[in-house]
Amino acid sequence: MANYKIELGPDHVGPHLKVYLKDISLNPQIKDQLEGLAAVHHVNITEKRGKSDLTVYPNKAYDITEVRDEVATFLDGYFGPGSALSSPAPVAGPRPTPAPAATPAGDPAVPAHLTVFLSYSWDDDPVHQAWVLALADRLQSQGGVKVLRDQYEIRAGKSITHFMETSVVAADKVVMIMTPNYKEKADGRKGGVGFEYSMISAELYASQVAGKFIPVARKGKYLECSPTFIKGLKSLDMTSDAEFEAKFWELLREIHDEPYVTPPPIGPKPVFPIRIPATGPAAVPPSAPGLPAGAAPPATSLVDDADNMARSRMPAVAHWSFNISVKSMVDLSLSNFYRQIYSHRISQEAGRYYLPLVLNDYYKKSHHPDWDFVIPLNNGGIANMFEASALKITKGNIRYEYSEYSTHEMMLLRLTDPFMTLLYLLLILKAGHDELGRQPTIEIEIDFKSNRKTVFYLQHSPIPVSRVYGLQTMTIPGNEASRTVVIAEVNQNSLMDVFGELYAMFMAENPGSNLPYIELDRTAFLKAIKELISQ
């Protein structure tokens, strides 16, 4: 069945694609997925005269035909091959499934279908019971799986306990349909749900294979319906009947381990050119901050200041690094830890100016498990000529770095980008801890290095830096400073303490200020914190 059509848009408004979906209710979901593709800059939903379509704009580095091919590949993966209107329509019937791979001689036979056990609570609600039965029927008739469910399998005289015990262990996948009543019975180990949940928790602990268990939220918010033991697992939201069709196919992808996006094969190691040192001062590259002339930056650095300064021919540099160790989430897998960060992004509409570019889909480097965001050299505007930013997420750790490069002996340092990005990350971590019901334990190592005296310019700071002068010269002994901050609770006071430590790293040199350190004006920054923390 044809599910989509792609057309090239008119050239007079710039290169773009028009994507028409048969089911226009999928437009918001497909829009979000397409914006994660490397070739796509952004996607708009266009509604006119009762019709709705997607307008896809390419990244500048890609030809429009490359964008069309990548979008078509994604949509074929989403709807299945042969879904475009230009393709011949297949015979009506259940959605086709790939043929099983041939079994090598001598190997045990591969089962024809996966088995799926549905764990749910009756809830004394006939509507809920009918919904579960309809889901089971459709999974078995259209999803290519054998469903193990009490209404299918148990007849008079059969042991319910034995059925539940064997099903949880034997099933390839266990789908847990969560409601507030399901959570109450599971946590209290009440009835059949309580027995199933005991088996699920034991199986999950013994096998350490989280992919077998798929939590599905049917009623209530996540914290209201998810049992305690599985709160660290990614769940599927099927609370909205209007989105059932899209969520059903998303559930099937989880069951069959067929993700929307798969990583490409690992390529060969690059061949690096051999550097032959020359003689004379011209051969010595600019030094990285805090390092001897010609020395390479530390291996842990994400932003290569020495290389950037050489390429941009900027003699001045200021470099921030924030190493955020999230000790209270170190037990999470990398994918779950990343989900806690990426799923709690504050919307651009809520704080467009403060949204750090390193967390935008547009700058996401890849879909690999080694989540790594990098912004190359960008024009920084009036204050400095260039800036670079990078963020790397590893298991239980976030590292953010920000550098500015300038031709000025006295740099006009921009504080908004590094300070607001740190604030933003802390608020994201707060939301993740709230979802998991955990108390945060976060340690932040802050380092600042520069090879020039710096100045703070009032327009570029989220906090007025002086009650006397808008332009104030600052100096740091040795041109570098470090602080370590431990956070046990993310609130307005703790956030202000963090930024107070940041400001205390700088000494005031301006004789008109009478302040040994910068006085932190809480009013302006508290306003920004309140606006973001309320989202």
Ramachandran bin of 232, using left for φ above 0, alpha for ψ from -120 to 50, beta for the remaining angles: alpha
Q: Is the pLDDT of residue 382 over 90?
A: no
In this predicted structure, what is the pLDDT of residue 323?
A: 92
Confidence band for 443, pLDDT divided at 50, 70 and 90: very high
In this predicted structure, what is the pLDDT of residue 422?
A: 83
Options 2.30.33.40, 3.40.50.11530, 3.40.190.290, 3.40.50.1100; which CATH number does 114-255 get? Answer: 3.40.50.11530
In this predicted structure, what is the pLDDT of residue 3?
A: 81
Residues with Cβ < 8 Å from 366, sequence gap 6 or more? 38, 263, 372
- pTM (2 d.p.): 0.43
- Helix ranges (H only) for 329-411 are 334-342
In this predicted structure, what is the pLDDT of residue 469?
A: 38
Q: Is the pLDDT of residue 457 over 60?
A: no
Q: Is the pLDDT of residue 515 over 50?
A: no
- In three-state secondary structure terms, 513 is coil
Q: Which residue has the tokens 């530390």?
A: 298
Rounded distance between C-alpha atoms, residue 476 and residue 401, angstroms? 19
In this predicted structure, what is the pLDDT of residue 476?
A: 64
Q: Mean pLDDT lowest for which of 89-98, 108-117, 243-252, 473-482?
A: 89-98
Q: Does domain 4-79 have CATH number 3.40.430.10?
A: no
Which range in 228-237, 393-402, 413-422 is most confidently predicted, on average pLDDT? Answer: 393-402
Query: pLDDT, tens digit, for every residue of 1-55?
Result: 478 888 887 655 567 888 888 888 888 888 888 887 878 888 888 877 667 888 8
Residue with the bigger pLDDT between 166 and 205: it is 166
Confidence band for 105, pLDDT divided at 50, 70 and 90: very low
Residue with the bigger pLDDT between 455 and 425: it is 425
Q: Any idea where the domains of the chain sit in the sequence?
A: 4-79, 114-255, 300-533
In this predicted structure, what is the pLDDT of residue 324?
A: 93
Phi, psi of 189, rounded to the nearest 5 degrees? 55, 50
- List the beta bridge partners of residue 318: 404, 450
Q: Which long-range CB contacts under 8 A does 91-96 form with residues at least 24 apart? A: 92/1, 94/141, 94/142, 95/142
Which range in 45-54, 407-416, 454-463 is most confidently predicted, on average pLDDT? Answer: 45-54
Query: Is residue 376 within a helix (H) or strand (E), and if so which, with residue range?
Result: strand 372-379
Angle, vertex CA 287, rays to CA 283 and CA 292, nearest 5: 100
